Amino acid sequence: MAKPIPFNRRWLQNQQARAEAAADPTAAATPVVREQAQQLQAIICAALNVLEPDDEAFDPMALVRAYLQEPPREADPVLYARFESQCPGCGEPIRVGDPIVRHQQWGRYVHAHCRNRQQRAAVAYTIVARYPGICRHCGQPVHPGERITQVRGLGWIHEACAQQRQRDS
């Protein structure tokens, strides 16, 4: 005959605590909640480097809201471009090796000196094709090394097709 598996000590403690709480629900719940609130308050005060308040009118939810607020975002580091692209800030080409940063509002990479621009340049986004494909305007093949432009609704097309499309409209 096999030995019986002993009960888990923590499980037994939990079962006893539940039985005691079921017998007298108001007595057991209040000190635990107050103790947990005090622990939460101490943790949040420590995280925010705030001294613990002495008065009873202290609002722990204000501390929680302050803790959950997004911290001020640090500036993105300066990187060096690995691919040719076009700066949406000034419209000038970004060449391999140029210092670039991610613009905080636009989420796109711009020249390091364009990081604080508030308005985008009014130019099409043009890059050098790295992979073969097909132009969605004229249907001709796109070879690596050709300049292509992204057009809303069509995708990537030849730069010349984009200029022709702009003249026609």
169's tokens: 């409209």
Q: Please determine, for residue 23, whether its predicted confidence score (pLDDT) is greater than 80.
A: no
16's tokens: 């006893």
Tell me, yes or no, whether 6 lies in a domain. Answer: no
15 and 57 inside one domain = yes
Residue located via tokens 């300066």:
78
Neighbouring CB atoms inside 10 A of 87's CB total 24
Parent domain of 23: 11-68
Predicted confidence band at 56 (pLDDT cuts at 50, 70, 90)? Answer: low
Tell me, yes or no, whether 133 lies in a domain. Answer: yes
* Burial class of residue 162, CB neighbours in 10 A (0-12, 13-18, 19+): buried
What's the pLDDT tens digit per position in 84-127?
A: 888 888 878 889 999 999 988 888 899 999 888 887 776 667 78
Total domains, the chain? 3
Q: Which amino acid is at 74?
A: E
Tell me, yes or no, whether 114 lies in a domain. Answer: yes
Task: Give the mean pLDDT of the chain.
Answer: 79
142 and 160 inside one domain = yes
Arithmetic mean of pLDDT, 38-47: 75
Question: Which of these, 142, 141, 135, lies nearest to 162 by C-alpha position?
Answer: 135
CATH classification of the domain holding 109: 3.30.60
Three-state secondary structure readout of 106-168: CCCEEEHHHCCCCCCCCCCCEEECCCCEECCCCCCEECCCCEEEEECCCEEEEHHHHHHHHHH
H or E stretch including 80?
strand 79-80
Tell me, yes or no, whether 27 lies in a domain. Answer: yes
110 and 157 inside one domain = no
Tell me, yes or no, whether 5 lies in a domain. Answer: no
128 and 160 inside one domain = yes
58 and 18 inside one domain = yes
